[in-house]
Amino acid sequence: MLTAYNQVPIPSFMYGTAWKKAATTQLVLEAVAAGFTAIDTANQLIHYQEALVGEALVELAKQGTPRERLFVQTKFTPVNGQDHRTPYDAQADLTTQVRQSFDSSLAHLHTDYLDSYVLHGPYSRRGLGAEDWEVWAAIEALYDAGKTRMIGVSNVSAEQLTLLCAKARHKPMVVQNRCYAALGWDQDVREICRNHRIVYQGFSLLTANREIFADPEVRAMAVKYGVGLAQLVFRFAMQIGMLPLTGTTNPQHMKEDLESDRLTIASEDLRRLETIGI
């Protein structure tokens, strides 16, 4: 378990449901059967089927895994990240959009609270504009009302996160970013998270870094520790303080990914992996 500055614990590995389409329900059931207790989704029909995650949660409850045993995280996706199927009135003010999207997520997921609610990405490419502050205030209000145990932001730059930490009433408790080895595994953002006790969630750890799997040093390291390349990367992520996401569709890989926490990578190998893509 990891713990953010507001003392809410979060499982140290998360199953991501992007791009799973009609297979979403079955894959969530398989992920929980493998041992995952944290599920990530979003109210964004281009890439996610949030309602099918909800169907899995209903089935899991019937099978003896109640909602309270699972950590469920979803996202508010702005209009610029949606197609025509917005889960809110796209003409409404932003505060209303957040509330409508949140209520829609609760209905999809058959729950009356969320464990984590995340802004899918700022409206501005640089800095934070009026839209970002209005949406963040609406998300803060959901947290204040006890409707979600944590709030956070995704796809955020170090500059934007610094602003949010400095000026928001509630700093993010989680940050979820795509993580590139070539950028030091998002070193600048991770450093801010460490300083503010924000849980950093890394996604695309495998798909964004295919070139490092061809690196002879990395391959030799996997042989040295007797693990697969995916296990090596996930364990590396955990040891440097990150919460990794996996979106594997293979039940065997789900189990192997979770077993990565049995491994301890030596400090000199950790240091090498931190700079392997730079």
Evaluate the CA torsion angle 21, 23, 26, 28 in order and state its sign.
negative
Query: Which residues are CB-neighbours of 132 under 8 A, at least 6 positions away?
Result: 119, 122, 123, 124, 160
> Tokens for 208?
């964004």
Ranges under pLDDT 50 in the chain: none
Beta strand 71-76 pairing with 38-40: parallel
Residue type, 187: Q
Number of other CB atoms surrounding residue 163 within 10 Å: 17
Name the CATH superfamily housing domain 10-201: NADP-dependent oxidoreductase domain (3.20.20.100)
Question: Which residues lie across from 177 on neighbouring strands?
Answer: 202
* Residue pLDDT, tens place only, 39-88: 999 999 999 999 999 999 999 999 999 999 999 999 999 999 999 999 99
Compute the C-alpha angle 145/173/276, nearest 5°.
Answer: 160
Q: 256-277 burial by CB neighbour count: b if 16+ within 10 A, else e?
A: bbbbbeebebeeebeebbeebb
Res 277: pLDDT: 81
DSSP structural state of residue 111: -
> Tokens for 71?
């950590």
Contact, 27 vs 84, CB < 8 A?
no
Strands (E), 208-255: 242-246
Beta strand 242-246 pairing with 14-16: parallel
CA nearest to 73, candidates 107, 115, 43: 115
